[in-house]
Amino acid sequence: MGDAAIRAQLAALMERRHCVRCGTVYVELENLGTWHCGYHPGALDSVWRVRTDARGNVRGTYTCCGREPPLRSGIGVQGCTRCDHADAEAPSAAAAPLSVAAERAELLLGTHRLGAPGVVYDASRRTYTIHRLCCLSDDCANAPR
């Protein structure tokens, strides 16, 4: 990769962005692997768990956690599963982990962020993998309960 391409990528990582889920203004480079936001990986199940609130609104629950969404929706509403901030609603677009060589990860993230919950070191490959979303497996300490 040439110097111009690297500069363009770094410039994109330094842009200020606005999270569509929680409203936070963030810089992508400082956001990678920190999981300071949240989303609901499940669907809103209004078919099987329907109820009507005092105002007559039909309510459901999320299939991932059983919680009801707040009456208001949009910015400021976070889900049950931790993830990085995003400037687009679809978390699956950012789901693919990023692998970075150990030497470059330290330069990219800084040593203080190598311990972020979404940053995992693989000693055998000498790489850091940056996970943008919490895994959903049962053995994950950050998975929804």
- Quote the DSSP letter at residue 133: B
Phi-psi region of 109 (alpha: psi -120 to 50; beta: other; left: phi over 0): alpha
Domain count, the chain: 1
User: Residue 54: which domain range?
Assistant: 3-130
Residue scoring higher pLDDT (124 or 53): 124
58 domain residue, yes or no: yes
59 domain residue, yes or no: yes
49: pLDDT strictly greater than 80: no
In this predicted structure, what is the pLDDT of residue 61?
Answer: 81
pLDDT, tens digit (0-9, with 9 covering 90-100), for 66-104? 887 776 655 666 788 888 888 876 555 455 677 777 777
Could you tell me if 45 and 61 are in contact, meaning their C-beta atoms sit under 8 angstroms apart? Answer: yes
Query: Which residues face 18 on adjacent strands?
Result: 25
Quick one: pLDDT band at residue 106, thresholds 50, 70, 90? confident
141 domain residue, yes or no: no
135 domain residue, yes or no: no
138 domain residue, yes or no: no
30 domain residue, yes or no: yes
144 domain residue, yes or no: no
Q: What is the mean pLDDT of the chain?
A: 75
112: pLDDT strictly greater than 50: yes
Quickly tell me which residue has 């810089």 as its tokens.
27
Query: How many other C-beta atoms lie within 10 A of the C-beta of residue 54?
Result: 5
143 domain residue, yes or no: no
25: pLDDT strictly greater than 90: yes
Q: Which of 82, 93, 70 lies closest to 40 in space, CA to CA? A: 82
